[in-house]
Structure 1
Amino acid sequence: MNVSQLISEMITLVIMAFALGMDAFSVGLGMGLIRLRFRQIFYIGVVIGVFHIWMPLLGMFIGRLLSDKLGMFATYGGGILLLILGAQMIYSSFKHDDTPFIKPVGFGLLFFALSVSLDSFSVGLSLGIFGARTFLTIIVFGVVSMLLTWLGLLLGRRVQGWLGSYSEALGGSILLAFGIKLLLPF
């Protein structure tokens, strides 16, 4: 492989990773509207990055065994999860209780990470064969999604102060919109 092919492959990988990481950015933007500490933001980004590494890898292994229909199931599953999370955030914004139903810690964090990495699983199904380039691909997917998650969380945190009590409803609306987009592809 010559240098121009390697550069072309890296550009393609970064573009794919960016496209896959945009849902992590969107969810991060919505989650950042909840009051989060910097330590939580760090952990959320790392966990989502790890999910964007192992979900496509898992998808590649399962892709050898199953049909392509599972990829559409994963997309619908991700959309439904985001709808649930968005509705929960909007509902809790109207309650006077400040404790959300699902928090981005523990199981809630794993739930968030799974919801935004299901599309990576679908991509993994189509990638097919595991090899050196695949290893590079999943690392790029993980790093880019982690960085985009951090960016979304930090921007959401900044905007949260400006919006006050409406910020959680806005965050839920972002998640709802993204869930609808996954369920109704245009």
Structure 2
Amino acid sequence: MDANVMDAATLIMLAVGLAMDAFAVSITDGLCYENFHRKEALMTSGAFGLFQGLMPLIGYFCGRMFSDAIASIDHWIALILLGVIGLNMIKEAWQESHEPECVECSGKTLTLPTILMQAVATSIDALAVGISFAVIHVNIFTACLLICGITFGLSLIGAAAGKRFGSMVKEKARVLGGVILILIGLRIFVEHMFF
């Protein structure tokens, strides 16, 4: 197998890793917003899934413009991008757990502009991953659909968890997502260098 081809299991793990930010925000939404019910859970999950699916596509086509020029260092690019994203997720989780903000949740209502801002903010990482997709042979449409579907599902689960368990699982989700992305970056690098 070509070391530059991402297998299905790795792609699923990558999608789960990317979805962890949306999952964590969904937990917060379920915890903090009084008007967060089934309709709002579906709206936020749909927005998160849509943006997480579109951003890699945008990154992919941007990356394709210069993929031939960087083919010899593509494994380094994937390692650096996924490593930085993963480390940033872990750092944010650590900061939130050690510097908790006093969030007053009562009376807050979730609005469409807030949902859209959250969807964009949680999907920026997926844009960078899309660039790495351009240099490692990935069926971009399958990848985007998978990322979209997994993000949607995990966001729904996060919304329900937020209603029940709140902040207990939010930081752990971000750490898990960060670790997954770092491991995938290392796997791509090792496969390209040694196989």
TM-score bin, normalised by smaller chain: 0.5 to 0.7
Alignment of 1:50-89 (within 5 A): 50-89=54-93
Name the CA distance, whole Å, in 2 between partners of 1:51 and 1:61.
Answer: 16
Q: 1:76 to 1:142 in 2, by over 3 A?
A: same
2:122 matched to 1:112?
yes
> Which residue number corresponds to residue 140 of structure 2?
138
Q: Does 1:33 align with 2:1?
A: no
Contact residue 53 and residue 142 of structure 1 kept, 8 A: yes
Match of 1:91 in 2: 95
Gap regions ≥5 residues in structure 2: 31-39, 105-113, 191-195
Secondary structure, counterpart of 1:63 in structure 2: coil
Query: Does structure 2 retain, via aligned residues, the 8 Å contact 1:82–1:115?
Result: no
Question: For each residue in 1:17-73, what CA deviation from the matched residue of structure 2 results, as whole angstroms up to 9, or x when unmatched?
Answer: 545533334444344332254323222211111112222222222112223314422
Tell me, in whole angstroms, the C-alpha distance in 2 between the residues paired with 1:53 and 1:34.
27
Partner of 1:121: 131
Q: Distance in 2 between matches of 1:76 and 1:179?
A: 11
Taking only the aligned residue pairs, the percentage that are identical comes to: 10
The 1:183/1:144 distance shift into structure 2, 3 A limit, reads closer
**Residues 48 and 126 (structure 1 numbering): CA distance in 2 closer, same or farther, change over 3 Å?**
same
- Which moved further from structure 2: 15-24 or 159-168? 15-24
What is the letter of the counterpart of residue 135 of structure 2?
L
Q: 2:150 aligns with which of 148, 151, 157?
A: 148
CA displacement, residues 85-113 of structure 1 (integer Å, 9 cap, x when unaligned): 333234334514238xxx9853x644532
What is the aligned residue count? 163
Q: What is the match of residue 15 of structure 2?
A: 21
Find the residue that maps to 1:23 and give its secondary structure: helix
Contact 1:60–1:126 (CA under 8 A) maintained in structure 2: no
TM-score (norm 1): 0.66
CA 1:83–1:104: 2 relative to 1, 3 Å: farther
Give structure 1 stretches of 5+ with no counterpart: 1-11, 128-133
Distance of aligned partners of 1:75 and 1:109 in 2 relative to their CA distance in 1, 3 Å threshold: farther
In angstroms, what is the RMSD of aligned CA positions? 3.5
- Aligned CA distance change for structure 1 residues 178 and 111 (closer, same or farther; 3 Å): farther
Closer, same or farther in 2 for the Cα pair 1:139/1:57, shift >3 Å? same
The aligned counterpart of 1:171 is 173
Q: Deviations over 1:105-124 (max 9, x none)?
A: 53x64453232343442232
Q: Rate the CA distance shift 1:85–1:20 in 2: closer, same or farther, 3 A.
A: closer
